Structure 1
Amino acid sequence: MTSPASSSVLCIGSVLWDVIGRTASHMRQGADVPGRISRLPGGVALNIAMTLARFGLRPVLLSAVGRDAEGDELVAACAAMGMDTTHLYRSDDLPTDRYMAVEGANGLIAAIADAHSLEAAGDKILRPLDNGALGSPEAPFTGTVALDGNLTQALLETIARSPSFARADLRVAPASPGKAARLLPLLPHPSSTLYVNLEEAGLLCQAEFADTETAAAGLLARGARRVLVTDGGRSASDADAQGCISREPPRVLVTRVTGAGDTFMAAHIAAERDGADRTTALERALQAAARYVSGETPL
């Protein structure tokens, strides 16, 4: 379709409140240490949208948010950050989702994602892509779609087959290693690019990989069109049938980890939309993620 929407980036998936506890201490199971607890807008789709907005883009959110006080506050916060919240599915019966994590000096200790409302809403969040608001099966959306694995397996399978997504530039990320397998139906989609870390790549391939290059090769062998694989502070790779590019991320002091992968993905999308070649886009994404984990990028 020809509309302003076709030049937008749709962010489809979790839009919720992050409750994050951080401490400068190393932690083990059962530890009780001083630190800081914050509540911030979060969720994979929203984290991606926030970074896209920082790069001057206006992301469009497709998700489920409750018509409760927390939901009203979250929608207002998203709009204030420059996001289009017009097409959010607002439910009277479903509460606003939440994510809770604990981070120590030794990384992420534990996390729980309560995305039950998003899962319960199902394909209702996709109505704007079917009813003509953003696209339809006859005139599908032709812009970039950032899709996260908090959606149910059944809905991701529907998206993989749907004519409404047939012409979209699909950028796909699992919400967590535990949900990586949900993305299998999207691997062979002709316009999909998959963003995973080394652990998630191993789970998708049911194998263990020593580095991101071999992981990327394994995913391509599984039918993926294009993949970007990261491994924390070690080399990251961008691979498709034409070859593989690998780059080392900048060395920084890590002060936070939740949202780093989402920042990498969003920065990579923004770089490619700005016309950067693949090597430059990978380098820009790694730099953005490094600034984020170091705390240089504000929350």
Structure 2
Amino acid sequence: MTDLTDTGRPDILCIGAMLWDVIGRAPRRMAPGADVPGRIRHIPGGVALNVAVALARWRLRPAVLSAVGRDPEGAALVAAAERLGVLTAHLARDTGRPTDTYMGIEDSEGLIAAVADVHGLEDAGDAILTPLDGALSGWAAPVVLDGNLTADLLAGVARDPRLARADLRVVPASPGKAERLEPLIAARRGCFYLNRLEAEILAGRACPDAAAAAQAVVARGAARVLVTDGPRPVACAMAGAPTLTCVPPPVTVARVTGAGDCFLAAHLAAELAGQPRDAALRRAADAAAAHVSGKDVP
């Protein structure tokens, strides 16, 4: 576990949403308007924090750059993140806004609907990047970028000299936010982690599988793209190299929120450990499947 009394620099920055997830899950298929018994969980979440927590489980030292209120919910969220091995010293806390919240409904088939209240993060804007001018200046290590950031902020990151040497890992957060990544594709910055629907939005067309979707986004200008497709094969495409695929292990679905974040964290951890492309892709697929089944890895 990370020693949070250590003031040294983190290994990785996760920039984006840090909030409370409120997830309601029913054990069977739900129709629109259904009112059914189930379980409701109140857990630390947000793409940036989810990835950071998963990275900490791989014995890395992640820090989150985000906006968290000074309300009781914010204090509890920061304490929970620290217990999970995430460095929180660089958060923007004095935003004047309450701590953000995500509410999702899942059934036995997956996500039914969700509402993300990230107004605190959106209103904070580039204030969350202030540590790049001080304690985190000269950053040249991996950075995970979360599509919950505003379109303007993502466009700014694409040309921000403070992140010019960073290894950008980009995730849209949801299909509705995929188009926010266009400036990063145009700048040929970053490795993109998408589901097939997100990839199709960026490609501007339907694709039959993850491999075709990943190749289509690379054709748009992205340097490297990884695409997941539920229980179907995942793919990794990059300019000038073969497209790789692998089939996730079959599992019984216990949860879906956060699976893509586990996929990204496992892939990044594998690459930082020097694993080749095919092994990193396999580790990522296995980690996402384990998360969906209700397990945490490693």
Query: In structure 2, the residue corresponding to 1:64 is in which secondary structure?
Result: coil
- Bigger drift between 75-84 and 186-195 goes to 186-195
Using structure 2 for the length normalisation, give the TM-score. Answer: 0.95
Query: In structure 2, the residue corresponding to 1:90 is in which secondary structure?
Result: coil
Deviations 1:233-260 (A, max 9, x none): 0011111112211111111111110000
Counterpart for residue 292 of structure 1: 291
CA-CA distance at 1:92 after TM superposition: 5.0
Counterpart for residue 265 of structure 1: 264
CA-CA distance at 1:34 after TM superposition: 0.2
Deviations 1:152-174 (A, max 9, x none): 00000000011111100000000
Deviations 1:197-249 (A, max 9, x none): 00000111211000111111110111101000110100111111122111111
Superposition pairs of residues 140-179 of structure 1, within 5 angstroms: 140-179=138-177
* Number of corresponding residues: 290
Equivalents in 2 of 1:80, 1:235: separation in Å? 34
- Paired residue type of 2:91: L
Equivalents in 1 of 2:269, 2:142: separation in Å? 10
Query: In structure 1, the residue corresponding to 2:285 is in which secondary structure?
Result: helix
CA-CA distance at 1:190 after TM superposition: 4.5
Counterpart for residue 35 of structure 1: 38
CA-CA distance at 1:58 after TM superposition: 1.3
CA-CA distance at 1:191 after TM superposition: 4.6
Counterpart for residue 132 of structure 1: 134
- Please list every run of 5 or more consecutive structure 2 residues that lacks an aligned counterpart in the other structure: 1-6
Deviations 1:109-130 (A, max 9, x none): 110000011000000000111x
Does the Cα contact within 8 Å between 1:47 and 1:263 map onto a contact in 2?
A: yes
- Paired residue type of 2:248: P
Which of 171, 174, 184 is residue 186 of structure 1 equivalent to? 184
Counterpart for residue 4 of structure 2: none
Does the Cα contact within 8 Å between 2:105 and 2:111 map onto a contact in 1?
A: yes
Query: In structure 1, the residue corresponding to 2:228 is in which secondary structure?
Result: strand
Does the Cα contact within 8 Å between 2:67 and 2:95 map onto a contact in 1?
A: no
Using structure 1 for the length normalisation, give the TM-score. Answer: 0.95
Equivalents in 2 of 1:181, 1:262: separation in Å? 19
Counterpart for residue 85 of structure 1: 88
Does the Cα contact within 8 Å between 2:188 and 2:221 map onto a contact in 1?
A: no
- Paired residue type of 1:13: G
Superposition pairs of residues 9-24 of structure 1, within 5 angstroms: 9-24=12-27
Deviations 1:134-187 (A, max 9, x none): 01xxxx310000110000000000000111111000000001000000011111
Equivalents in 2 of 1:282, 1:259: separation in Å? 17
Counterpart for residue 202 of structure 1: 200
* 1:114–1:155 Cα change, 3 Å: same
Runs of 4+ in 1 over 4 A off after TM superposition: none
